[in-house]
Amino acid sequence: MAGGLKEVRERIKSVINTQQITKAMKMVSAAKLRRAQQNIQQVRPYADRLNRMLSNILSNLDGDASTSFGKSREVKNTLLVVMTSNRGLCGAFNANICKETAALIREKYAQQQRTGNLTVLFIGKKGYDWFRRRYKDINFITDFIPVYDHSDYENVSSVARKLMDEFSTGKYDAIEVVYGRFKNAATTFPTVEQWLPVPKMESPAGTKQKKADYIFEPDQQQLLEHLVPSILQLSFHKCLLDTLASEHGSRMTAMDKATENAEELLKALRINYNKARQEAITKELGEIVGGAAALEG
């Protein structure tokens, strides 16, 4: 029985240590979440408005004005950008993004996968870890995994500019981004966003598309050459900021739940320990009483 008590005491100590770690991780994630949430809440409305404006402009170009970023062509070579975290312990956050990517490949890009014309670029390590165990017929780009931990605008926009150059030269015919869209600490959504070519503005079914009445200064072509790359870079950065906020929110929620589970486990272990201790004391008392009775006899 003494051995059993010792084992329970050691397990209680282990659970307490684990609980202290999960509490600390929750607090760290909560602090990081506040900063990440503030960043995405500041950027998202601006980026979404610019994206809508860009789609509208590209849908209503006049004359010879054009940009390669808005031209759709036959999709032979596809690039998927998968944004996940570099660390785990954040629930199903990374797995959900990877599963969303796998569904996209299966439903939309199965032909490119079969012909070897599908490439997946990873920003964040966990996505690469998930894919390399499951796919052998997809081209992987791992050069930009460290970008996740260096998410300032200049660093992220350099990746976006490189991808825009490769789209313009015809290396890729379509680029889509899969990331975690942040709603709140407890809710994130794996999201697929067509980044290039820029999707056109679509009118509701049965309605006629209204032409935007923009006044361009300077002319349309000069505006497109400066405006489109800037909006695309901001949109790419917004996706990464969304993913960062989603990661910290998911980890905070997961660590909070782990702390609660540890507390419930501690209660059960302490009850078992007290029962075992009481049984041991009762047994010892019984043996003492029995020994005393034998001596008196």
Active site residues: 90
User: Phi, psi at residue 280, to the nearest 5°?
Assistant: -65, -40
Q: Is 72 helix (H, G, I), strand (E, B) or coil?
A: coil
Ramachandran region of residue 233, left (φ > 0), alpha (ψ -120 to 50) or beta?
alpha
Q: Is 291 helix (H, G, I), strand (E, B) or coil?
A: helix
CA atoms within 13 A on the CB side of 103: 10
The answer for residues whose C-beta is within 8 angstroms of residue 45's C-beta and 6 or more apart is: none
| Contact yes or no for 152/160 (Cβ under 8 A) | no
